[in-house]
A and B are shown apart, each in its own frame.
Chain A
Amino acid sequence: MTINDIQNSIIDEFGVFDDWMDRYQQLIDMGRELPPIDAKHRTEQYLIQGCQSKVWLDAELTDEGTVRFTADSDAIITKGIVALLVRVLSGQKPQDILDAELYFIDRIGLRENLSPTRSNGLLAMVKQMRMYAMAFQAKMS
């Protein structure tokens, strides 16, 4: 599936919720399902510093030329959003990641989580994912 296919199916999944609590419950459940990052990666080196909740991110380039992201957070709602980002961008080609426009965050009503006022490290996480993609892209060409 392309990045936009995945984004669209997430938008559909969240479309059924008209209550904030249901939306958050869904995020929490997704956060729980995200495989935890390898304990050896839950360190300063992989940490994306937010003011309040921590986010850890790692990436590797697969033999198929796609990027595999693994991530984690110490706050469960943040982890849910992290899980969504991983679902959208993991398994994609570096160039596609660089070209992607992440509209789903806004469409499912979570835009505030990616604004600089929310000091949860998510904005930095998206930047970091793009940085990895950029580095892998450079390595491949």
Chain B
Amino acid sequence: MTTISTAYSASIFDVERFRRDFPILQREVYGRPLVYLDNGATTQKPLPVLQTIERFHNQINANIHRGVHRLSAESTEEYERARATVQSYINAKHSHEVIFTAGATASINLVANAFGDAFVHQGDEIIVSEMEHHSNLVPWQMLCQRKGAHLRVWRFNDQGELNLDQLATLMGKRTKLLAITHVSNTLGTVNPIAKAIQIAHEHGVAVMVDGAQGIKHGKVDVQHLDADFYAFSGHKIYGPTGIGVLYGKEQWLSQMPPWQGGGDMVATVTLERTTYNELPFKFEAGTSNYIGAAGLAAALDYYSAVGPDAATAHEEQLLRYATQQLQTIEGVRIIGNAEHKTAIVSFVQQGVHPYDTGMILDKMGVAVRTGNHCTQPTVDHFGLPGTVRASFAFYNTMAEVDRLVEAVQRAKQMTA
């Protein structure tokens, strides 16, 4: 069954056609065609996104929500249409459950501050997984420090998998929130978040999902997941930088105090007292990145047209092929071998520092990331100085996997 559906999707998934939508993929580096395998850090932008941004600047630009003039009305309309696009893409129940932020990091910090202020008190507990990006770890450490709360850690095994049975044992009477990543940016593990959320809810614990990587792994349905919060960045799903989303259930958002104060988030202001605007504006202080929001909506529309399921199936083929080919090179060890993985391959080469591998790959036109990938505890788990990480997007090809493998072999020869 799996084989048939994979073969089918491969036959209709026209990578070369999609690649033409991404101007940057045509460029060369050091005289070689660029092989861009750093999609976990940021994805490239297709023409419809670039054109949306340009058109907005050239035709519409005006500040939203406050002007009496035509452009401001159009600008506001585009911004709110973008919100509706995000709502529909992630299947949020209400559009006011979609808060625009600067990115996933800002989204998580918003929750750590606003939810933390309202619901986390001295002696309470917050659970994080051991594989969190620093963005979904440090804000909770800071909250715990502020409130005198405790951080508990859900460890993963050497395959890079979290065990659901352990989660229940971490839950206590004082547990207030579970912060967990949908997909590990270093190990590629796709976590069983639907089940984790179910377990958390059985214990009355809210769940913050870091969807920075998860948003581009197939379709995300926040109602189906029953997530309390889901955060992601536009630039990791083929949209612009500087725009992100916090999805939050209305029941939480309405009870949370505003985080940042400023324009647009207020209803009435006197020198003595301020009342706050309604959702979602309560959490969008200051001038929003409305052009970024429109760009993000264009990216989601584009990705929907490509087909998240077909894109993911293609990426899974890249993952399988890359894993298999890299393992043929003596001394290469893949870090993160979870059963459910997204197209992220972290590896180390025996006797070669990841930084050296990365430098040599770079000069061969292959862009990867090396180091701890902002997940120091994850890399520490394996006692490594870092890894080399190849992260794929649907516009990558099997031939590019070959270029990666060839470059890794070359790095081995040069440093052996």
Knowing A52-B371, A52-B386, A77-B359 touch, does A20 contact B30 (C-beta < 8 A)?
A: yes
Mask, A32-64, CB within 8 Å of B = 1, is 000000000000000000011110000000000
With a cutoff of 8 Å between Cβ atoms, the chain A residues found around residue B403 in the complex are none
Residues of A within 8 A of B386 (CB): 52
**B379 to A: closest C-beta gap in Å:** 11
* Cβ distance A1 to chain B, nearest Cβ, rounded Å: 29
Whether A24 lies near B353 (C-beta < 8 A) is no
Residues of A61-108 whose CB lies within 8 A of B: 74-78
Report the separation of the CA atoms of residues A74 and B410 in the bound assembly, to the nearest whole angstrom. 19
Asked if residues A76 and B354 are in contact (CB atoms below 8 Å), the reply is: no
Query: Given contacts A24-B360, A74-B385, is CB(A52)–CB(B30) below 8 Å?
Result: no
- CB contacts (< 8 Å) of A75 on chain B: these are 353, 355-356
Chain B, residue nearest A54 (CB): B385
Chain A residues lying within 8 Å of B304, measured Cβ to Cβ, are: none
Interface size class of A (residues with CB under 8 A): 10 to 19
Q: How many residues of B contact A (CB 8 A)?
A: 17
Contact between chains at B355 and A20 (CB < 8 Å): no
Cβ-based interface call for B415 (8 A): yes
A74 & B363 in contact (Cβ 8 Å cutoff):
no
Chain A positions within 8 Å of B360 at CB level: 21, 24, 77
- A10 contacts chain B at the CB level, 8 A cutoff: no
B241 interface residue per 8 A CB criterion: no
A/B pair count, beta carbons within 8 Å: 44
List which B116-140 residues lie within 8 A (CB) of chain A.
none
Smallest distance from the beta carbon of B382 to chain A beta carbons, Å?
A: 16
Q: Residue B353 contacts which of A20, A25, A74 (CB distance < 8 angstroms)?
A: A74
Contact B370 A52 (CB under 8 A): yes
Known: A20-B363, A51-B371, A78-B355. Contact between A25 and B414, CB under 8 A? yes
Q: Given A20-B30, A21-B410, A51-B371 in contact, is the A76-B363 Cβ separation under 8 Å?
A: no
Partner of A28, one of B364, B370, B414: B414
Shortest Cβ distance from A22 into chain B, in angstroms?
10
Shortest CB-to-CB span from A112 to chain B, Å, is 9
The 5 A-B pairs with the shortest beta carbon distances in the complex, nearest first, are A75-B353, A20-B363, A75-B355, A53-B355, A52-B371
Of the A-B pairs whose beta carbons lie under 8 Å apart in the complex, a sample of 14, sorted by A's number, is A21-B364, A21-B410, A21-B414, A24-B363, A52-B385, A53-B353, A74-B353, A75-B355, A75-B356, A76-B352, A78-B353, A78-B356, A119-B371, A120-B355
**Besides the contacts A28-B415, A53-B353, A54-B385, what 10 more A-B pairs have beta carbons closer than 8 Å?**
A24-B359, A51-B371, A52-B355, A52-B386, A53-B355, A74-B353, A77-B355, A77-B359, A78-B356, A119-B371
